[in-house]
A and B are shown apart, each in its own frame.
Chain A
Amino acid sequence: MKKRNMSIGFAVPAFVIYTILLVVPILMAFYFSLNKWNGFNPMQFIGIENYINVFKDARLGNAVVNTTVISVVVVIAVNVLGLFLAMLVNTASAKSNIFRTVFFIPFVLSTVAISFVWKSILSYNGVLNGILISLGQSDLIGNWLGKQGPAIICIILVEIWRTLGYHMMLYLAALQTVPHELYEACTVDGGNRWNKFRNVTLPLIIPGMSVSFLMSIINELRMYDVVKIMTDGGPGYDTETIVYNIVSQGFSNSMVGYSSAISVVLFLAIGAISIFIVTMMNKKEVEM
């Protein structure tokens, strides 16, 4: 019994670092969110007023819409395409290996570097328009980053480009846990490709799928870097995301209380979505 109790010491360093630098700031954010505070002058307790304002804030509403549009499209695209790609490269050949390597490259690069590259490509006087001009297609030239619609599409494409390889890898890992015998059994039973996929692959990769979905949702809801560098939330507020909004309310406008309230709501939303996905996937797993 004594030896068993000793083990708590193992968790203490992690507990202390985690608590002080992550949990305490989160609790502080909860506390700030109930106050009116610019970070310097004395705090003023105002109860849930900040939260009421969160739901009345048109600029934030716009950021929520942008984030939702980006998230939904990217999450669906990377998961569907990711699974599809994973199935294509799920062979032990050198060819597959090269494809895996290539598809994964964007994910290992920093978003800062990537965003600058894409910005240089998509700018009005950038590479893409340069190519269009040299092809003699001047009327196809677009103001890709200077108008809301194209700018959001560009951001979505960059996000897909950036994370697709990662999700392919997640699915690949999941696919490799599927025992080969099961496919053979299915073939013996006369199953075609679709049967194999529906009855063997899909049920067995549900855990991997839930990880992949969760990761992509959390990633997109936290989106900041690409927007910050490619469009800086602009033009106007057209490509502003929730996190961008929180940062500018908190840091640029010195509304510590208000920006904390938004981030608390975001935190709770991500928590709720995560729990929802995990329970839903668990249920599916049992059903199948």
Chain B
Amino acid sequence: MKKRRALIALALSVCVIASSLMGCGKKADTGSTSDSGKTKITFGVFETDNITSEVWQNMIDSFQKDHPDIEVEKVLATGDDRQAFWKTMLSSGSFPDVVIEAEQLATMDGIFTEVPQDVQDLFEDSTLCQYNGKCITVPSFKQYKMQCYYNKSVFSELNLQEPTTWDEFMNVCQTIKDAGKTPLMCGGTGDIWATGEPFWIAEGDTALLAKYPDFNKDLKDGSNKWNNDTTIDVLSKWQDMINKGYYYDGAMSLSYSQAAEEFQKGTAAMMVDGSWAAAGFDAEKNEDFGVFAVPTMDGSKLTVADCSYWGVSETCENKDAAFQFIKYVFDENPDVYKEYLQSDGLYSTTKNAVTYEQGAVTTKFIDNIKDSETVQEIVKLPGENAAPSGMQSFMDKSFQNIFNGADVKTEVEGWDTEYQRLLDAQ
């Protein structure tokens, strides 16, 4: 009796071990019909000060009104590292059916399903991309990255002009510093990207891409490295700025929204940030702040713009419904797409371009780059030559190390090691 029970328990656990190990690599499917008998899809999103829950809710509500047979449930990404969040969901089998910001996840095989031709046809050809020969994501918007916002009153008080060359930019910083004010603001531990990414995108990406237009490809086939003179030069100059005290002392303990608030309160005179900040100022009709394109070090006229992508999960049970949702958002109801774009200062990627009325700061932002050539951010480039996922947060952490005085050369050597390690692992 005793032995038998023990044996049963043992057998049971062996079964579980066996099934779990053998099943590894396979994906389980979860049911997805809601209680009411409607088809249900889950929609993974994140929210910011601009893209609030109302934006998503309006999108979902109007879709459900026009497609009463489909129910959309919002899944909100939490924490500061959204990629980590999606991967947690992926590991736990509760990955949403439709996910925004899919470009990094798409580098891993088998997560997203192929996009039907009729959906692909809705988008501008230049924005579509392929992974292993398949189109598995749809471009949701184009976004211009990282210009320098400034406090107009500080600039007029110190008689400063918007700088157009790197040296002028440094002069502006020094003048503000000499006047006893803090020139620049950035975020820190709460949002790791907010420390170095804005500056890196404005200076590093542009400098590297000006010199090596196919940097991503070179990196992947091994003909180039992160560790080159350009990278070192950009980062050394950045560290130099930090050492000169151009950045706010407490930046490293601020989250992005804290940093942005401190900047608006006037704690620092400038802050390098993306086009979403312009949309934020415009939404509040705030005209106390101006914006200029951060002058590149080599004077090249490049500006970074990224497309963001949505994907439909391979494990989604109602792929038709999911694509119906995508078609609705990007095609059937332009108002929905417009509200989404306008909320965050984004630009449409569809063949039928959707535009909206721009506020003063956004207009200035776009005006600043009208002569510039647009390039894609290196770590965010979608498609075959995409950087392995995890690289971006590694670099973000590395920027923080550099901010706190780490040796630039050693850090950048680490980038190559990590790039290779992540590539091998994925």
Contacts and interface: CB of A to CB of B under 8 A. Distances in A.
Do chains A and B directly touch (beta carbons under 8 Å) in the complex?
yes
Interface stretch (A145-153, A197-205, A265-273): A145-153
Contacts of A84: none
Interface string B373-403: 0000000000000000110010001101101
Contacts of B190: 232
A147 B250 contact: no
Interface stretch (A31-39, A73-81, A171-179, A213-221): A31-39
B28 interface: no
A41 B25 contact: yes
Contacts of A252: 81, 83-84, 87, 390, 393
Interface residues of A, number: 50
Contacts of A27: 17
Contacts of A236: 397-398, 400-401, 403-404, 406
Given A125-B254, A251-B87, A24 B20 contact: yes
Contact of B80 (A6, A37, A232): A232
A111 interface: no
Interface stretch (B103-111, B121-129, B140-148, B156-164): B103-111
Contacts of A143: 249-250, 252-253
B9 A124 contact: no
Given A41-B108, A254-B108, A254-B426, A12 B188 contact: no
Which residue among A36, A42, A146 has the maximum number of chain B CB atoms within 10 Å of its CB? A146
B111 A40 contact: yes
Nearest to B258: A125
A8 B425 contact: no
A231 interface: yes
Nearest to B417: A58
Contact of B1 (A6, A16, A146): A6
Contacts of A6: 1
A19 B401 contact: no
Contacts of B13: 16, 19-20, 23-24
Interface in B75-120: 80-81, 83-84, 87-88, 90-91, 108-111
Nearest to B21: A31
B12 interface: yes
A144 interface: yes
B213 to A, nearest CB: 29
Closest 4 CB pairs of A and B: A124-B250, A146-B252, A236-B401, A234-B189
Interface of A: 5-6, 8-9, 12, 15-16, 19-20, 23-24, 27-28, 31, 36-43, 122-125, 129, 143-148, 231-238, 248, 251-258
Given A237-B397, A253-B389, 17 more contacts: A5-B2, A16-B13, A20-B12, A20-B16, A27-B17, A38-B426, A40-B25, A125-B254, A145-B189, A232-B190, A233-B189, A233-B397, A235-B189, A235-B403, A248-B84, A252-B81, A254-B426
